[in-house]
Homo-oligomer: A and B are copies of this chain.
Amino acid sequence: MAAMRWSDMDALGHVHNGRFLEYFEAARADLVNELVDIGRPDGLGLLVARHEVDYLVPLVYRRAPIAVDLWVERIGRTSFTVGYEVVEDDRSVIYGRALTVIVAVGLPSGRAEPLPDFVREALNGYLREPTDAEPAGPGS
Protein backbone atom coordinates (compact mmCIF):
# COMPACT_ATOMS: atom_id res chain seq x y z
CA MET A 1 0.00 0.00 0.00
CA ALA A 2 1.12 3.55 -0.67
CA ALA A 3 -0.50 6.76 0.58
CA MET A 4 -1.35 9.13 -2.24
CA ARG A 5 -1.01 12.92 -2.06
CA TRP A 6 -3.23 15.30 -3.95
CA SER A 7 -0.11 17.07 -5.19
CA ASP A 8 1.08 13.83 -6.83
CA MET A 9 -1.19 14.81 -9.69
CA ASP A 10 0.11 16.97 -12.53
CA ALA A 11 -1.65 19.41 -14.81
CA LEU A 12 -3.26 16.52 -16.73
CA GLY A 13 -5.13 15.59 -13.55
CA HIS A 14 -3.33 12.22 -13.22
CA VAL A 15 -0.57 11.04 -10.92
CA HIS A 16 2.70 12.24 -12.47
CA ASN A 17 4.90 9.46 -13.84
CA GLY A 18 7.74 10.40 -11.48
CA ARG A 19 5.55 10.01 -8.42
CA PHE A 20 4.94 6.33 -9.16
CA LEU A 21 8.56 5.79 -8.13
CA GLU A 22 7.68 7.15 -4.68
CA TYR A 23 4.82 4.65 -4.42
CA PHE A 24 7.25 1.85 -5.32
CA GLU A 25 9.66 3.15 -2.70
CA ALA A 26 6.90 3.08 -0.07
CA ALA A 27 6.12 -0.52 -1.02
CA ARG A 28 9.82 -1.46 -0.82
CA ALA A 29 10.04 0.01 2.69
CA ASP A 30 8.57 -3.20 4.14
CA LEU A 31 11.03 -5.39 2.33
CA VAL A 32 14.08 -3.24 3.02
CA ASN A 33 13.06 -2.80 6.62
CA GLU A 34 12.95 -6.53 7.09
CA LEU A 35 16.44 -6.82 5.64
CA VAL A 36 17.68 -4.06 7.91
CA ASP A 37 15.95 -5.46 10.97
CA ILE A 38 17.66 -8.81 10.46
CA GLY A 39 20.92 -6.91 10.66
CA ARG A 40 22.55 -4.97 7.85
CA PRO A 41 26.30 -5.49 7.95
CA ASP A 42 28.39 -2.36 8.34
CA GLY A 43 29.31 -0.71 5.13
CA LEU A 44 26.68 -2.35 2.91
CA GLY A 45 24.27 -0.14 0.99
CA LEU A 46 21.32 -1.02 -1.22
CA LEU A 47 21.05 1.27 -4.23
CA VAL A 48 18.55 1.57 -7.07
CA ALA A 49 20.41 0.60 -10.26
CA ARG A 50 17.53 0.39 -12.74
CA HIS A 51 13.80 1.00 -13.08
CA GLU A 52 11.44 -0.25 -15.79
CA VAL A 53 7.96 1.19 -15.48
CA ASP A 54 4.90 0.63 -17.67
CA TYR A 55 2.08 3.13 -17.25
CA LEU A 56 -1.08 1.30 -18.25
CA VAL A 57 -4.07 3.30 -16.99
CA PRO A 58 -4.09 6.90 -15.72
CA LEU A 59 -4.36 7.05 -11.93
CA VAL A 60 -6.31 9.76 -10.10
CA TYR A 61 -5.78 10.83 -6.48
CA ARG A 62 -8.00 9.33 -3.84
CA ARG A 63 -7.83 9.66 -0.06
CA ALA A 64 -7.42 5.94 0.60
CA PRO A 65 -4.00 4.37 -0.04
CA ILE A 66 -3.46 2.61 -3.35
CA ALA A 67 -2.48 -1.06 -3.38
CA VAL A 68 1.05 -1.85 -4.57
CA ASP A 69 1.75 -5.58 -4.88
CA LEU A 70 5.45 -6.35 -4.49
CA TRP A 71 7.52 -9.45 -5.01
CA VAL A 72 11.13 -10.49 -5.67
CA GLU A 73 11.64 -11.67 -9.23
CA ARG A 74 15.34 -12.47 -9.34
CA ILE A 75 18.17 -12.93 -6.81
CA GLY A 76 21.60 -12.48 -8.38
CA ARG A 77 25.10 -12.45 -6.99
CA THR A 78 25.33 -8.74 -6.15
CA SER A 79 21.82 -7.54 -7.00
CA PHE A 80 18.17 -8.52 -6.94
CA THR A 81 15.07 -7.47 -8.89
CA VAL A 82 11.81 -6.39 -7.33
CA GLY A 83 8.52 -6.46 -9.27
CA TYR A 84 5.42 -4.40 -8.53
CA GLU A 85 1.90 -3.79 -9.69
CA VAL A 86 -0.15 -0.73 -8.77
CA VAL A 87 -3.69 -2.06 -8.69
CA GLU A 88 -7.21 -1.71 -7.37
CA ASP A 89 -7.66 -3.82 -4.25
CA ASP A 90 -9.81 -6.28 -6.19
CA ARG A 91 -7.28 -6.22 -9.09
CA SER A 92 -10.01 -5.00 -11.44
CA VAL A 93 -7.60 -2.34 -12.75
CA ILE A 94 -3.82 -2.49 -13.14
CA TYR A 95 -2.53 1.09 -13.29
CA GLY A 96 1.13 0.25 -13.72
CA ARG A 97 3.76 -2.48 -13.60
CA ALA A 98 7.42 -2.04 -12.77
CA LEU A 99 10.75 -3.69 -12.04
CA THR A 100 13.56 -2.28 -9.92
CA VAL A 101 17.08 -3.67 -9.81
CA ILE A 102 18.66 -3.12 -6.39
CA VAL A 103 22.40 -3.58 -6.08
CA ALA A 104 24.39 -4.15 -2.90
CA VAL A 105 27.40 -1.86 -2.70
CA GLY A 106 30.20 -1.50 -0.23
CA LEU A 107 30.31 1.88 1.51
CA PRO A 108 31.96 4.22 0.96
CA SER A 109 33.55 2.56 -2.11
CA GLY A 110 30.25 2.26 -3.99
CA ARG A 111 31.44 -0.97 -5.64
CA ALA A 112 29.08 -3.92 -6.06
CA GLU A 113 29.44 -6.54 -3.33
CA PRO A 114 27.95 -10.04 -3.04
CA LEU A 115 24.58 -10.19 -1.28
CA PRO A 116 25.15 -11.57 2.23
CA ASP A 117 23.54 -14.95 2.93
CA PHE A 118 21.00 -13.61 5.40
CA VAL A 119 19.80 -11.11 2.79
CA ARG A 120 19.44 -13.87 0.17
CA GLU A 121 17.41 -15.91 2.63
CA ALA A 122 15.12 -13.02 3.50
CA LEU A 123 14.59 -12.25 -0.20
CA ASN A 124 13.70 -15.88 -0.84
CA GLY A 125 10.54 -15.39 1.17
CA TYR A 126 9.36 -12.83 -1.41
CA LEU A 127 10.38 -14.80 -4.51
CA ARG A 128 7.79 -15.27 -7.25
CA GLU A 129 8.13 -16.47 -10.84
CA PRO A 130 8.35 -13.69 -13.45
CA THR A 131 5.00 -13.06 -15.10
CA ASP A 132 4.84 -14.33 -18.69
CA ALA A 133 2.37 -11.66 -19.63
CA GLU A 134 3.96 -8.70 -21.35
CA PRO A 135 2.49 -5.41 -20.20
CA ALA A 136 -0.16 -4.52 -22.73
CA GLY A 137 0.68 -0.85 -23.05
CA PRO A 138 -1.44 1.53 -25.07
CA GLY A 139 1.06 2.08 -27.92
CA SER A 140 2.71 0.06 -30.68
Residues of A that sit less than 8 Å from B by CB = 2-3, 5-7, 9-13, 16-19, 21-22, 25-26, 29, 33, 45, 47-55, 58, 61, 63, 65, 76-79, 101-105, 110-112, 135, 137-140
Contact = CB atoms under 8 A, between A and B. Distances in A.
Contacts of A3: 2-3, 26, 65
Contacts of A49: 54-55, 137-139
Contacts of A102: 139
Contacts of A33: 63
B138 A103 contact: yes
A51 B17 contact: yes
Contacts of A16: 7
